[in-house]
Chain A
């Protein structure tokens, strides 16, 4: 097995101009009370351990990892929702942690949980989100039904409360929320987890469209190997906070002499992709 833990890989492609995402040695720890160890005892878990990567403008990069591998932590850090314990991150040249406001204008995110005001309708929820990006009600009145239509949401249901919509429908509204603000960097954190096969395909089709039509750069964090392979230009494996590699699928196959990403994961970590230990479960609670 290749010794991948010796040095985290900085995988970069020849880039024209400023990279969309530039991450150097990013580290994040979480500390929680450990009552079993004592009243004031704390337990520290490293969610990200010196992660470095670059994503070129217009590129789609998938980060694969098990639960608790640090995928969501990476997305939250790039979304300005967490502060790091080390390292740096830039989005289109803007320092994510020192100057988060310009970054916020460029980034949007879709996560595994749709997260809306349940009593409010899609129209109202999207309107609320749009105001935070300086869009008036006049601007969003026609735009919201149009975008909802593009993600396959029936426009005539846009006034129903969110709580009356299925999980798949809610996720489409989440996609519309991200698209509404025209992000140049879209962070997708397991956007298809828990969706039925049809909704999953619709979401994946939408991701392709966003990329081609809107020239968006996409960071897709997922534990769906097939999804990563079908959508991304490059795939990385994040294992227990360390980015083992970030390469094209043919390069990964060649590096490990394997036919599938699942086999590559096994070759790189010595563990089955689907197998999760107690340690991984605990890491998920922390990260």
Chain B
């Protein structure tokens, strides 16, 4: 029992070490992050202004609702992008710096190593998502009198467990292809959101894509967040969104670790951990 406690303590210290390292690196590259955030704001605005554009060209829509719907979709898209980016950096950045061999030969379990990366990604991503929502909302005269922002945030956190599981699967790609693996993470992000109703209701999708939407955690995250912000629904009425997220999370984390483990074995078999150049 004591040995188990000692091991668990060491694992949690290792997890904290990954978070600590990400704090250092974020501080060092903060100006680059600011520049990237400006790009995200601009990108989000190009999407959210579509609602006003439709009205201006004679379309008849509830601009406030459409603007908020698009804004939520764009914020979730950006949030998922940050999560996947941090997770793929687990390998890609360390490989580039040449530290990956030292990290992979350390006695920390891979699950705690990836959990540390995931915890920081969630914290950083949430702060960035909130800021993005506030900054973009400033450009529009949005009326959100009933919005339950806390419930929306909780839904996003619960969904993050599933996102981390899926992101862990993509994190292995730079091990298999150091040159192009990271970009493939963006493919996963796009595929996930296109079937999840990121800027439109899932009901407009072809039937086969609707079926895919049912197993995508982003579907339930987007639904829950929209219900909380547009309808003012609290967590007590959102069980329909929460339980699928919990189930998908419970399945995706072990699946993600298994896929990453297989990728790590492949890399060790073929000498892909070694930095070249």
Complex CA distance for A109 and B21, rounded to whole angstroms? 21
| Interface pair B14/A81, CB less than 8 Å apart | no
A133 within 8 A of B: yes
Given known A-B contacts A128-B17, A131-B13, A81 and B99 have beta carbons under 8 A apart: no
The number of chain B residues touching the other chain, given as a range, is: 35 or more
Residues of B contacting A: mostly: helix
| Interface pair A117/B271, CB less than 8 Å apart | no
In the bound complex, residues from chain B placing their C-beta under 8 Å from that of A10 are: none
Kindly specify which of B22-30, B118-126, B242-250 makes contact with the partner chain: B22-30
Given known A-B contacts A105-B107, A116-B97, A134-B9, A128 and B265 have beta carbons under 8 A apart: no
A215 within 8 A of B: no
A226 within 8 A of B: no
Q: B72-101, CB under 8 A of A: which get 1 and which 0?
A: 000000000000000000000000011101
A-B contact count (CB 8 A): 102
In the bound complex, residues from chain B placing their C-beta under 8 Å from that of A79 are: 101, 105
Cross-interface CB contact of A132 among B29, B97, B106, B265, cutoff 8 Å: B106
In the bound complex, residues from chain A placing their C-beta under 8 Å from that of B45 are: none
A167 within 8 A of B: no
Q: B2-40, CB under 8 A of A: which get 1 and which 0?
A: 000000011101101110110011001100000000000
| Interface pair A131/B17, CB less than 8 Å apart | yes
A280 within 8 A of B: no
Interface size on A, residues (CB 8 A): 36
In the bound complex, residues from chain A placing their C-beta under 8 Å from that of B273 are: 76, 81-82
In the bound complex, residues from chain B placing their C-beta under 8 Å from that of A76 are: 101, 271, 273-274
The residue on A at minimum CB distance from B113 is: A132
Pairs across A and B, CB under 8 Å, 18 listed: A81-B101, A81-B105, A83-B265, A83-B269, A101-B107, A104-B105, A105-B107, A115-B275, A118-B97, A119-B28, A124-B21, A132-B14, A132-B103, A132-B113, A133-B107, A134-B10, A134-B13, A136-B13
